[in-house]
Amino acid sequence: MARWNEVVLGFVKCGLLFGIMFAVLGIFFLNCIGPWLNSPNYKPPHLSFIGDPSTSMGIAFETPEACNATVYYGLSETDLNMSQTDNQLRTLHFFNLTNLLPNMTYYYLINASERNYAFMNVVETFRTAPPFGSKDPIHFAVLGDTRPDIFGMTKHKELLDLIKPRKPDFILNVGDIVLGPTYTHQWDRFFYEIGDIAKNIPYMVSMGNHEHHEAGGEADAGRTYLKYMHFPGVEEYYAFNYSNACFISMNIQSEESITAEQLDWLNKTLTNANNSVEINWIIVYFHTPPYCTTESHPVIVERVVEPYLVPFKVDLVLAGHHHHYERLEIDGISYVISGGGGAELDLFVTPTEWTSSIANTYQFCDILINGTVLNLYCVDYNNLIIDQLTLTAWRNV
Ligand SMILES: [Fe+2]
């Protein structure tokens, strides 16, 4: 009798064990596959700055089948009295709307004569920047390393859902948005995740090492990134002026990425910004940080920081690459690592002697500039402010 009891108990234990295993595997499977199943096989409209943000706006999207497309736009929702048409049959579409008025809300609608995808024939809005040199407030959000982890999971969309109600003027992503440049489904997923916010707010990106090459795998030198992204100039690195600030995005994600051409461009861009009476703020953002708890001083960024960022009195440097939040103050420059954007968090973080604040959590930065004062708030996954920085511009006249 006792033996039968042991056999039944054994079956019950095995059943419980298998039940728990199946439940865990089921949750894991849904977490991995769910977001991909939800990703459409097109890229919804996403805005970016191409030229002067006060007078132009870039709109890009991808359709499942090749088609022509028209963007109708105007200052009234009921009178879209301007248009741009591309009669070429293509899947990747890009429009640069120019000759816009500063500081205005524009309405736009995308139409294709032979197709009608979900994002078409819907009136959307965007807002042009204040005139260059004005002291109008600037509000932007920063996040980085939003790529999926090796199990296909990321908190990117949840963080964007926290950013959206704050109504920033634009978003900066400091890189690593996919696990590898040739992972087609992850590009689809990235544009699906940003679709709800980037149809109304420009979403600017700096190239990360994962957009340039896969970990231990194939390098496509950022070709896929450059195919989907539309930024000013050579696009691999670029700059734009917004109100009284100059934003400079560099391509810093490997030793080879810091070319002589890029450094020459950086020198000219910093010189022009520093000499401009309209510009109070110089904000530089790129992927691999110069200073960090886990990698205190990578050689590649010494070539940028010491001869350029310090002498030109850059106000703020934003980076990612390491999956946590960290703020450091060195030689009068504030360095912020905002790498808790969705990928797996770092295992351990220990402050360096220069670290002012550190948090190993999912987060983004919410930054407001008002004249010559900047306030940076680090916001965590629970929408709580976990760090704050107030800066006065070096160029404060
Ligand atoms: Fe990275």
CA of 312 to the centre of ligand 1 (A): 26
Per-chain residues with Cβ under 5 A from ion ligand 1: 176, 208-209, 321
CA of 230 to the centre of ligand 1 (A): 21
Beta strands in 264-330 (DSSP E): 281-285, 316-319, 325-330
DSSP state of 371: T
Q: Give the C-alpha distances (Å, rounded to integers) separating 378 from 26, 163, 371.
A: 34, 12, 21
User: 297-334: b or e for each residue (b if 16 or more CB lie within 10 Å)?
Assistant: eeeebeebbeebbeebebbbbbbbbbbbbbbbebeebb
In the prediction, which pLDDT does 346 show?
A: 93
SS3 per-residue string spanning 167-207:
CCCEEEECCCCCCCCCCHHHHHHHHHHHHHHHCCCCEEECC
CA of 60 to the centre of ligand 1 (A): 25
Domain boundaries, given as residue ranges, for the chain:
1-38, 55-127, 138-392
CA of 29 to the centre of ligand 1 (A): 26
Contact present, 330 and 353 (Cβ < 8 Å)? no
- Residue among 364, 386, 388 nearest 156 (CA): 364
In the prediction, which pLDDT does 396 show?
A: 84
Q: How far apart are the first and last CA of the chain?
A: 92
Architecture of domain 138-392 in CATH? Answer: 4-Layer Sandwich (3.60)
User: 214-240: b or e for each residue (b if 16 or more CB lie within 10 Å)?
Assistant: beeeeebebebbbebbbbbeebbbbbb
CATH number of the domain located at residue range(s) 55-127 in this protein: 2.60.40
Which residues neighbour 255 within 8 Å (Cβ) at sequence distance 6 or greater? 299, 300
Give 366's strand partners: 141, 377
In the prediction, which pLDDT does 27 show?
A: 44
CA of 207 to the centre of ligand 1 (A): 9
The single-letter code of the amino acid at 34 is G
132 token code pair: 């260059």
Phi, psi of 321 (to 5 degrees): 75, -45
CA of 56 to the centre of ligand 1 (A): 31
CA of 342 to the centre of ligand 1 (A): 12
Give the whole-angstrom CA distance, residue 314 versus residue 312: 6
The single-letter code of the amino acid at 180 is G
CA of 152 to the centre of ligand 1 (A): 16
Contact present, 285 and 253 (Cβ < 8 Å)? no
In the prediction, which pLDDT does 335 show?
A: 96
CA of 228 to the centre of ligand 1 (A): 19
Give just the sign of the alpha carbon dihedral 143, 264, 226, 70: positive
pLDDT in tens, the chain (397 residues): 556 666 666 666 656 666 556 554 544 444 445 445 455 678 999 999 999 999 999 999 999 999 999 999 999 999 999 999 999 999 999 999 999 999 999 999 999 988 888 899 999 999 999 999 999 999 999 999 999 988 889 999 999 999 999 999 999 999 999 999 988 889 999 999 999 999 999 999 999 999 998 766 667 889 999 999 999 999 999 999 999 999 999 999 988 899 999 999 999 999 999 999 999 999 999 999 999 887 666 778 888 988 999 999 999 999 999 999 999 999 999 999 999 999 999 988 888 888 999 999 999 999 999 999 999 999 999 999 999 999 999 998 7
DSSP state of 345: P
CA of 267 to the centre of ligand 1 (A): 25
CA of 252 to the centre of ligand 1 (A): 10
In the prediction, which pLDDT does 316 show?
A: 98
CA of 102 to the centre of ligand 1 (A): 36
Give the whole-angstrom CA distance, residue 357 versus residue 389: 10
Element of type H or E holding 107:
strand 105-111
Q: Give the C-alpha distances (Å, rounded to integers) separating 128 from 48, 56, 115.
A: 11, 7, 29
CA of 173 to the centre of ligand 1 (A): 12
- Residue among 38, 44, 194 nearest 110 (CA): 44
CA of 290 to the centre of ligand 1 (A): 13
**Is 55-127's fold the same as 138-392's?**
no
CA of 174 to the centre of ligand 1 (A): 9
Give the whole-angstrom CA distance, residue 187 versus residue 178: 7
Give the whole-angstrom CA distance, residue 203 versus residue 60: 11
In the prediction, which pLDDT does 25 show?
A: 53
Count of residues making up the chain: 397
In the prediction, which pLDDT does 2 show?
A: 53
CA of 144 to the centre of ligand 1 (A): 9
CA of 176 to the centre of ligand 1 (A): 5
CA of 57 to the centre of ligand 1 (A): 28
Contact present, 387 and 378 (Cβ < 8 Å)? yes
Contact present, 125 and 106 (Cβ < 8 Å)? yes
Give 95's strand partners: 59
